[in-house]
């Protein structure tokens, strides 16, 4: 699955960064560290969303809005004092949790409900990981 490849590429890039790189801006508002904190938040949330959506078959909350600022700010603030190594560990931990949820239900089962779970299988260069991978590469 491309998702796993992108996750691995993302982690590899993070592990290659120098300490000072984490403070580099990817845009006017966010540093690389902020982007990683925000990604951890989404992985953490994905674990819950996969479970809830599978159980209820209702559209996940994030597909009903375009406003993610509050959600993103919450995790950027939460992980503010974490070191780069701690952030990488957290991200890897939640990536594994997401994969466990996918494995519990089964890829084939999730794909039967593609309208609800398409975001798990976005294999394009517009996926969440691909987008932030590009941002970080451009910043460094």
pLDDT digit string, tens, across residues 78-122: 999 999 999 999 999 999 999 999 999 999 999 999 999 988 887
pLDDT value at residue 23: 97
DSSP string, 54-66: HHH-PPPGGGG-S
Beta bridge partners of 31: 25
Tokens of 61: 């909350």
Q: How many domains does the chain have?
A: 1
Is pLDDT above 90 for 1? no
Structural domain span for residue 13: 2-139
Residue 2 has pLDDT above 70, yes or no: no
- Which of 1, 19, 11, 2 lies closest to 88, judged by CA? 11
Instruction: Find the CATH number of the domain harbouring 40.
Output: 1.20.120
Model pTM score: 0.91
Question: What pLDDT was estimated at residue 51?
Answer: 96
Over residues 12-70, the pLDDT tens digits come to: 999 999 999 999 999 999 999 999 999 999 999 999 999 999 999 999 999 998 888 99
């Amino acid at each position: 699955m491309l998702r796993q490849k992108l996750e691995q590429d993302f982690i590899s890039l993070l592990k290659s960064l120098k300490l000072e790189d984490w403070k580099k801006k990817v845009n006017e508002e966010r540093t690389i560290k902020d982007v990683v904190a925000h990604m951890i938040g989404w992985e953490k949330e994905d674990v819950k969303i996969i479970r809830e959506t599978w159980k209820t078959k209702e559209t996940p909350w994030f597909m009903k809005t375009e406003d993610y600022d509050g959600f993103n700010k919450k995790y950027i603030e939460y992980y503010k004092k974490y070191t780069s190594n701690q952030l990488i560990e957290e991200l890897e931990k939640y990536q594994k949790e997401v994969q466990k949820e996918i494995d519990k239900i089964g890829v084939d089962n999730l794909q039967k409900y593609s309208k609800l779970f398409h975001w798990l299988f976005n294999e394009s260069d517009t996926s969440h990981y691909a987008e932030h991978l590009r941002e970080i590469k451009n910043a460094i």
